Structure 1
Amino acid sequence: MEFIRGNAKVSVRENSQCYTNEMSAHDFVHLHTHSHYSLLEAIPKVSELVAAAKADGQKALALTDNGNLYGAIEFYKTCRKNGIKPIIGVDFFVAPRTRHDKEHAKDEPKERLVLLAKNEVGYRNLIQLVSKSHLEGFYYRPRVDRELLETYRDGLVAILPSHAGEHAHSLRHGNHDRAAQSLDWYKQLYGASGGCFVEITRHPEIEGHKGRMQEIEKVARQVGLPLVAAHDVYYLQSEDSLACDLVNKIRTAGFLERDMDSEPRNFSFLSQAQINELFVELPEALDNTIRIAEMCKLELKLGTWVFPDFPIPAGSSANAELLALAERGLLERNISKTPETDARLNYEMSVITEKGYASYFLVVADLLRHAREKGILTNTRGSAAGSLVSYATGITTVNPLEYNLPFERFLNPERPSPPDIDMDLADNRRDELIDYVRQKYGENKVAQIGTFGTMMARAAVRDVARALGHPYSLGDMIAKLIPFGKQGFPITIANAMKETPDLAQAYKSDASAREVLDLAQKIEGNARHVGVHAAGVVIAPSAVTDYVPIQFDPKASRIITQYDMHAVESAGLLKFDFLGLTNLSVLADAKVRVKNRLNAEVDLERLPLDDAKTYEMLSRGETHGVFQLASPGMTNYLMELKPTSIHDINAMVALYRPGPMAFIPAYIERKKDPKLVRYLDSRMEPILKNSYGVIVYQDDVLEIAVKLAGYSWLEADKFRKAMGKKIPAEMAAQKEKFKAGCLANHITPAAIQRLWEQIETFAAYGFNRAHAVSYGNLAYKTAYMKANFPIDYMAALLTADAGNVDKIGETVSECRRMGIAILPPSVNESLGTFTVADNRTIRFGLYSIKNFGTGIADSIIAAGKKDGAFKDIADFLARIPDRNLNKKSLESLIQSGALDELGERGVLLSNIDTLLSHQREHMSAPKDQASLFATSSARMGTPTLNLADAPAAPIEKRLEWEKELLGLYVSGHPLDKHKDVLARQRMDIKTGKEKFPRGLETVIAGFVETIRPILTKTGERMLFARIADFSDSIEVVAFPRVLKDNGGLFTAGSCIMVKGRYSDRNGDVSFVVEKAKAL
């Protein structure tokens, strides 16, 4: 191996501790560096580290994040792309005793060890060490121990850190012998192959550091271990030290303490020249960085996929089994055997067979077969719906031949990427299917995919402001000035300052805001924590750790990969998407309710697609609870469109997105008047016929590129990706290629320009047709159930919202609009979920009371089923011997009205301690006595419970409790006494939020639910309040000048009328107050 500096050559001598050269300067490789994947301990992004090495002429670079391999694949690929040799390593935490010892004050890890992979064996051992340090050794930090190090030592280079190595700790405590013993142990472990080095660093800014390094050098030479120069990197530039200190404070939830008198420690990415200056007297330590770089020759085989080991009958093959399954499925789905069907099936099978994907299809088909057998409702999204094989094998739910869905958008012979089938599952049963996978393939072969929560613009600002010790209001004020990005394109702070004058002004005029924004930009986009991908699961043919590192989900006991979805795929494991979807849970629940109540079987896969009641309901804008169609903007378009076919719904699902939304008016106009349909070229008619000549789907763009511009399917797919990324250079190249192809096909320049403009507007946000059809059909199913079985569907919808009082409140409002009454919770009448009481009435479920657990709810329901209705409060307490009935849960039962049949709320609340004491007496009584007591209680009441007199709870208080615990008012409404005034209002809050022009003055009236006063930068008082009427609620903003005259009106519980203007910011609607008065 040769490293070149200028015209001089440094040659490597095998088995030598240093390198001879004729230069005064020595090449150097950073072997101890950290990226932002050392979560909240370092700040460089992987690309920034690689760019710094490249700019300095370094030929190799190591990544050694703390206790993990999160960034390994990204680092490897980025280095390769930039001509840098990647060295993958880990900065390990070492357990003081064993990894199994976890005693406070004894086993927190203090010692570190850097290991680098020399080859694939070493890389696999890093994976094992990292995985076991998390799964077996985690205690404050993921820890390895000597047993693990001995077991997984092959293929690794060890660097013993200068500050946190075991020997360094011993020397600081004056124990020279123990330091020598430690070094000798590592020498015996790794030194036989010349793979053990003692790190030396140079930090002249740290008092005493030079002396400590001299001690380390002395003991290393005594033991016979070579030295290696390093500079532990946690940030790029020395001026980034404050930002790095800041992320550490964010990690520990502390506040930054600035010491202006001391020089900050420097852990920046030093150049080779700077390193040479620091190590001028120790050239061998520099040369050994090159020696180590030469030893590390890891070559990863990325992009070669492996599939789960699906069982295949002896004498058969995955291809034969898939074809047989598809042919059986076509018969079961009553699809006629025609030349078109045979040709399509054979073509798809040829592509699947050629690419070796048959086993993947068999695995997915088996998963969804199991789901159907267990009654788990599923839907498959994405381009997979364009496959007839997928439909025939039960993977997808729409026939691609009926919707003209192209297979090539899913798989084509030219595209190298693997298949990706996204499975939507009823969210309340998703874990059942993942458990099935574990049982079928083995626990050690299955893991959910990890992901990283990142500090995007708003979050970074809030984190930085808090860690700097600023009041919450400053960070909140700055964050709210940053607009939300568009879907898939999060906005940066730099772009936000260009787009938002108020933010730019705050940066210019406020020193605190400027510091927050400057520091936030240094950490913006960095990983903050590890999480679990919403859907992704990997299934390996052998242990997952044969391919990727794993750990526990920090918030649960689930096993997750340390690699994100992109790195997992690069490492060879395909992602299986199990996405929980609430709407599927609602549909499944509604279907069961219809069966139980009406003895009617609803086949959701064979619904009539021409149901008049469904389309009429959508045309009236009654879309609450309908999948994909319930937003105010979509609802307005549906009312204008008056949909009459499933194609209309599919088109609206695809068009209601940024970009394509511009084509909605044309779609509506052409549907109403077919004479307006025009095609820029007659060859576009077969592509756009069902959408009235409007480009609706990504597939439309791809087919236009193929049929009009002469693209291959692979070129068309690259065209789609280039349009989505919006990179100017790529866009310009594609435009020229598209134009040339169209000209060659005799399309006029004017038509080409108009067509390009349409595609350019559309392409970045367009849905593929298969995805829109899958979602459109699911939307139709939810609309059909609401239109035809309204009370069952709404009860299921309320049940799905359990625990979310805001959503329940919205759904209850819709029920009342539909003429469905909602009864309050009752310990004698309610079950856990919402239940249908009769054809026009739904009873509130106990599970949906806020602050009330399901365990105590189940105990109440079981007691009622066993011995009948509760007679009085004493009877209730005697029959619920459940320790979960604590003060909080009993208080929730009383305040929500669930005990109204057994006692008045005010009286029960005043006596709550007496009630709990009475219940505890029953719990502690001997079983025979308690049983006898309970029997007499059930028969004649309990005479020993005496409640003190207390006033009844006033109506205002009851309403407040109901809103807080149930999300709705039951006993009445705070505005009941002002109904006449409200009836004279031009429009209610809900209508105003959806339709009233922004910026025009209007009046709203309502009830003040909450207030949040704050102080401005000048110390004046302003406030945010939430005002509600019978239809909805809205946040109102009252600035200081308004509060001077009207401040007394804004109190929780008051009924007021305010004049002002609706305002939209970042998708949130608020109301800015000019004047206010009491109702």
Structure 2
Amino acid sequence: MSIETLIAEALRVRADAIALTDINSTAGIFPFLQQAQRHNVHAVVGIDFRDGSRPRYIGLAKNQEGLYELNKHLSEVLAAGGPFPQRAPAFSHACIVYPLQQAPDVLREEEFVGVRIAEIRQLYSLRKRFPVEKLVLWQPVSFQDTISFNTHRLLRAIDRNSLLSKLPLSEQGQPDDRFYTYAELAAQCEGHSYLITAARKLLEQCQFSFYFHAVKNKRNVRGSSWEDFDYLRTETLRGAVSRYPKLSQEIFDRIEKELLLIQQKDFVSYFLINYDIVRYAHRKGYFHVGRGSGANSIVAYCLYITDVDPIALDLYFERFINLYRDSPPDFDIDFSWKDRDDVIRYIFETYKEGDRAHVALLSAHSTFQYQAVTRELGKVFGLPTSEIEQLLAKGGPKHPLDQYGRLIKRYGQRLIDVPSHLSIHAGGVLISEKPIHYYSATTIPPKGFPITHFDMHVAEAIGLHKFDILSQRGLGHIKTAMELIHENQGVEVDIRQVERFKEDEKIKELLRTGKTMGAFYVESPAMRMLLSKMKAQTYLELVAASSIIRPGVARSGMMRAYILRHLDAEKRKEAHPVMESIMPDTYGIMVYQEDVIKVAHYFAELSLGEADILRRGMSGKSRSKEEFQRVKDAFFSNCERLGREKEITEQVWHQIESFAGYSFAKGHSASFAVESYQSLYLKAYFPLEFMVAVINNFGGFYHTEFYLHELRMQGAEIEAPDVNESRYLTHIQGTRVLLGFIHLKHFEKKSTEWLLRARAKGPFTSLEDFMLRVPLGIEQLRILIRIEAFRFTGRSKAQLLWIAHARHQELQQRAQAAENSLGLFPAEVKPFRLEELPPLSTSEDWEKIHDQLEILEFPLDSPFLLVESLPVGTCMARDLPKQNGKWVTLVGYLVTVKPTRTVKGERMHFGTFLDQEGNWVDTVHFPDKKNPYPFRGKGVYYLKGRVSEEFGFYTVEVAQITRLPYKQSS
């Protein structure tokens, strides 16, 4: 049962006190307390401790100290992997209830024996064993009705990966685990009313009072609140001197205004902890990006938490913190995926106190969804895969549902959004004033850091503000690129000179032309297109582009309106005067999240608190639909009172609505833009090292193949792995780029480790020498031969494969014998006479590319060599401007396809191809052309379509598309 259903059932039977004891979980405690307080039900909280399905004992918290004891006990056992001890620890502030059959003979003061209704008949033999005051009525409540019991059985079968018909009774609850009225309980306990009396006394002992929003993050960092504030002010002013060579009164005033508000809202320690995290990262040489609404703060800028100047960008601090805003501030701090775990480790070690944990990662609650639940229920009922796939088929099954199909549909609907398991929040870290076990038990997932049982919504409800410690690969690109530049060219790069980068002409040219592949956040086909259309070349234009590209702005039609007004001053006159006065930088168009607050406050005269409710509701963070609706109604009534035209009001509301869940805060976009500039600087001046760094961080919009293509277009010589020169990752020597062994499909990491360990003692002199020194199986060896990793020997692949198969076993045995002799008698390679092999019947080029396709999953040579016969006289990307409005034919190698929907909901696609000269071609595939001419996977395509142009950007509206057949080996 959900919490809401549980309380509703309790009210139905007029229960005035109930205890929530989830099995090995505390996820529901605070939602339960909230609902119980709302309905005046005496709420008792605890834990049902079990080893699998076997009950051990139930713990009930007498107060918050008791919950701490129970949480700590559960966490320790879960961390150790179980089992629970048969006897509970001696708790000081919690009561223990044992199942009747497992109760110890001698009970402590706060220990009791639970008697179920079905066990009452056994009491006559047990009353001599236990005093009556130790026997309590114990009636579990798990089910509302037969349907909920059946749902439970299905969940148990899913959990055990078992057929429903094979589910043991020991793995199920009992159908009578439900609520009874007091009269029904009294009737069942006739002659044993002391059970009810003892149970009531036990519940009365448990007085868990809790005030929501009263919980605090770690209060003080330096000993006291005044020391914290003094330190925050000192460090902020020190940073201001560094950030601003000329300190103006405006800067001082903004700092003082923010500091006062931060102190009033009790967020001083929140800032200082983020500051401490960033300082640790700087000491370790880790790059970071501070973003989120925190980028609107000059204090954050002066503390180097963010790199966005809110004065220069006129960022709206009230979007971050205002007196009317109850929600916590929001810093998203990104680190490289390589560095993030060490930063989290630092937080855990720094903010613990002895053996009392004050830090935990936030969990997220994964829930069942339609496809997964249908598959799981299909397995539970024993359906074959083909029938399950029919149930999932688009448009539903072709035949009427049978008995099992109807059951799956019926119970599948009940299970949608039901919690399935705990996962880890993307980056949320909690640092609490009191130990974290006062609020939640913790579980340790494979990642190694403990996670809470409740999610971010509960954390916010009780008053714990999360710290967002996130990872992204863009920062890894930058760090790795700088290391490669130093290694390859001996140059040290200062990547923090962002102000200089903003004025760099080479970077402006990359932006203006959309040549941004590899650069963080601005490399996708859609972003390249937008930058080209905008002719973007300034920081502010890039900031705007980062938000305009978001679906909310694009779908509302505001992206096109923005580009029109950006390029044509006459079009700016179409803006509503009030909207233009609110958002002059974006020509009266809502682009950023804080624009919602501004428009609501200045256009509709909502209070700042109401405006923030509107913003949170639009971004999906509001949990109260009623509160959001109230603010929406106030928006329209205020506009009517102010005399706004109804049509204009509706247009403005449509813009606000289009933001739902998609818009960025301006500071967030500005933070992204800083990282984009850093990437673009490296791409402009060190293109080879930068692209190798992108490849080695395995992050980006495109497949590795296309970053290698970009390297080739920049003058690099791309080479397949070589056993004497390559590393695990790709590396660069001058303009030579040697692929790493990591790119070889099915080549195991341990094989690379053996290879590199042997090579450290000296280069390999031949294939035979390699086989003596590296203990690879024949299949692993074949991969290296086929990818030409032994090309230094001068022998052909066929010759090398012949030697490998002929001598592999012999040389491996000799290598093993040498190893067993502790190296006293090193193995020697005897000369091997190789017979002349006949020439291959297939072309050498085809064999080479075929092996590359199989082992790398892409060719290192031109993919157009794969095609049996290329059409002649086709158009190239450079020809498109001359062919505007005309029909053309092209041959293109597919890079990526983006599906989307028209305003009518029909599916269409945007495509990106490479032409035979290696340049990009962007295509549009409208719904009427998509079905007769579908994409058929990776390959070279023949396209026919009409060239179109918008804002100087050329695309081909495709009418026909055919994948060209590859050559076949003979």
Q: Residues 307, 575 of structure 1: CA spacing in aligned structure 2 closer, same or farther, 3 A cutoff?
A: same
Decide which of 825, 843, 862 is 2:721's aligned counterpart: 825
How far does the alpha carbon of each residue in 1:1042-1062 deviate from its partner, in whole angstroms, 9 at most, with x for none? 9xxxxxxx9x999999999xx
* Distance across 1 between alignment mates of 2:373 and 2:672: 34
**Is 2:696 aligned against 1:799?**
yes
The answer for the alignment partner of 1:522 in structure 2 is 414
Unpaired runs of at least 5, structure 1: 1-43, 95-107, 167-181, 203-211, 482-501, 1007-1028, 1035-1040, 1043-1049, 1061-1069
Give the SS at the match of 1:579: strand
Paired with 2:823 and 2:149, the residues of 1 have a C-alpha distance of 67
Aligned twin of 2:74: 130
- Structure 2 match to 1:466: 379
**1:837 matched to 2:750:** no
Residue 122 of structure 2 aligns with which residue? 215
Alpha-carbon distance in 2 for matches of 1:718, 1:1000:
34
Could you say which residue in structure 1 is the equivalent of 2:478?
587
- Residue of 546, 551, 561 corresponding to 1:653: 546
Distance apart, 1:261 and its partner CA: 15
Name which of 53, 56, 59 aligns with 2:10. Answer: 53
Aligned to 2:663: 766
Q: Say whether the 8 Å CA contact 1:385–1:391 is kept in structure 2.
A: yes
SS in 1 for 2:858: coil
Counterpart residue number, 2:950: none
Match of 2:46 in 1: 89
Q: Which residue in 2 is equivalent to 1:224?
A: 131
Report the equivalent of 2:112. 196
Match of 2:764 in 1: 870
Aligned with 2:540: secondary structure?
helix
Partner of 1:178: none
The equivalent residue for 1:240 is: 148
Paired AA for residue 831 in structure 1: R
CA distance in 1, matches of 2:492, 2:337: 22
SS of structure 2 residue aligned to 1:980? coil
Q: 2:677 aligns with which of 780, 787, 806?
A: 780
Question: Is the 8 Å Cα contact of residues 112 and 135 (structure 2) preserved in structure 1?
Answer: no
Aligned to 2:951: none
CA gap of 1:524–1:740, structure 2 versus 1, over 3 A, is closer
* Contact 1:609 1:645 (8 Å CA) reproduced: yes
Bigger shift: residues 381-390 or 302-311: 302-311
Query: 1:630 offset after TM fit, Å?
Result: 3.4
Q: CA deviation digits over 1:380-435, x for unaligned, max 9?
A: 12000011010001111111111111111111223233333211001111122223
1:310–1:363 CA contact under 8 A, matched in 2: no
2:278 and 2:286 map into 1 onto residues whose CA distance is 9
Q: Is residue 184 of structure 1 aligned with residue 105 of structure 2?
A: yes
Note if 1:703 corresponds to 2:598. yes
TM-score normalized by structure 1? Answer: 0.75
Q: CA deviation at 1:601?
A: 4.0
The amino acid across from 2:412 in the alignment is A
Residue 363 of structure 1 is matched in structure 2 by 273
Match of 1:734 in 2: 631
Shift of 1:341: 0.4
Give the letter for the 2:89 counterpart: E
Letter in 2 for 1:294: E
1:593, distance to aligned residue in structure 2 (A): 2.3
CA distance in 1, matches of 2:43, 2:150: 29
1:789-938 paired onto structure 2 within 5 Å: 789-801=686-698, 807-816=703-712, 820-839=716-735, 841-854=736-749, 856-861=751-756, 863-864=758-759, 866-867=761-762, 869-880=763-774, 885-886=776-777, 889-902=780-793, 904-905=796-797, 911=804, 914-915=807-808, 918-919=811-812, 921-925=814-818, 930=823, 933=826
Of 444, 452, 468 in structure 2, the residue corresponding to residue 552 of structure 1 is 444
Shift of 1:610: 3.6
| Alpha-carbon distance between aligned partners in 2 of 1:331 and 1:979, rounded to the nearest angstrom | 67
What's the secondary structure of 1:533's corresponding residue? strand
What SS class does the counterpart of residue 425 from structure 1 fall into?
Answer: strand
Q: Deviations over 1:282-324 (max 9, x none)?
A: 6624555544433321112442344447663899711111111
* 1:641 and 2:534 aligned: yes
- Looking at structure 2, the residues matched to 671 and 324 of structure 1 have their Cα atoms a distance apart, in angstroms, of 42
Question: Residue 371 of structure 1 contacts residue 377 of structure 1 at CA under 8 Å; is this kept in 2?
Answer: yes
Q: 1:889 to 1:577 in 2, by over 3 A?
A: farther
Q: Is the 8 A contact 1:50 1:78 kept in 2?
A: yes
- Aligned residues of 2:64 and 2:438 also touching (Cα < 8 A): no
SS at match of 1:930: coil
Cα deviations by residue, 1:620-661 (Å, 9 ceiling, x for unpaired): 444433322333433333332222222222222222233321
Post-superposition CA distance 1:865-923 (Å, at most 9, x none): 552x321012223444xx6x455644443344323434654555563595366245435
Residue in 1 aligned with 2:856? 966
Q: Deviation digits for residues 518-543 of structure 1, max 9, x if unmatched?
A: 22222222222223222122334565
Instruction: Name the structure 2 match of 1:665.
Output: 560
Q: Cα gap change, 1:134/1:732 in structure 2, threshold over 3 Å: closer, same or farther?
A: closer
| Aligned twin of 1:606 | 497
Structure 2: 5+ residue runs without aligned partners? Answer: 875-888, 914-918, 925-930, 946-957
Give 2:97's aligned residue: 159
Supply the distance in 2 between the matched residues of 1:249 and 1:1072 (Cα, whole angstroms).
50
| Total equivalences in the alignment | 906
- 1:1013 match: none
Percent identical among aligned pairs is 24
Deviation, 1:584, is 0.6
TM-score with structure 2 length normalisation? 0.83
Deviation at 1:125, TM superposition (A): 1.4
| Structure 2 counterparts to residues 988-1003 of structure 1, below 5 A | 988=892, 990=894, 993=897
- 8 Å CA contact 1:183–1:223 kept in 2: the answer is no
**Residue identity matched to 2:421:** H
Counterpart check, 1:450 vs 2:363: yes
Q: What's the counterpart of residue 103 of structure 1?
A: none
- Find the counterpart in structure 2 of residue 493 from structure 1: none
Matched, 1:150 2:42: no
The letter for the 2-side match of 1:238 is: T
Secondary structure of the structure 1 residue equivalent to 2:97:
strand
Distance in 2 (CA, whole Å) between partners of 1:449 and 1:728 is 25
- Which residue of 1 is the match for residue 615 of structure 2? 720
Give how far 1:119 is off.
1.9
- Offset at 1:673? 0.7
- Do the aligned partners of residues 355 and 886 (structure 1) sit closer, same or farther apart at CA in structure 2, a change above 3 Å counting? farther
1: CA distance, partners of 2:724 / 2:244: 49
Matched to 1:81, the amino acid is R
Cα distance change, pair 259–645 in 1 and its aligned pair in 2 (3 A): closer
Shift of 1:57: 3.4
Q: Say if 1:613 and 1:915 are closer, same or farther in 2 by CA, change over 3 A.
A: same
Q: 1:357 Cα shift?
A: 2.3
In the superposition, relative to structure 1, how do residues 928 and 669 fare at CA in structure 2: closer, same or farther (>3 Å)?
same
Matched, 1:538 2:425: no
Q: CA offset at residue 772 of structure 1? A: 1.7
In the alignment, is residue 577 of structure 1 matched against residue 498 of structure 2? no
Superposed, 1:373-452 pairs within 5 Å as 373-442=283-352, 444-452=357-365
Give, in whole Å, the separation in 1 of the partners of 2:797 and 2:151. 54
Change (3 A) 1:363 1:982: farther
Alpha carbons of 1:259 and 1:654: their partners in 2 closer, same or farther (altered >3 Å)?
A: closer
What's the secondary structure of 1:529's corresponding residue?
strand
Following superposition, the deviation at residue 156 of structure 1 comes to 2.5
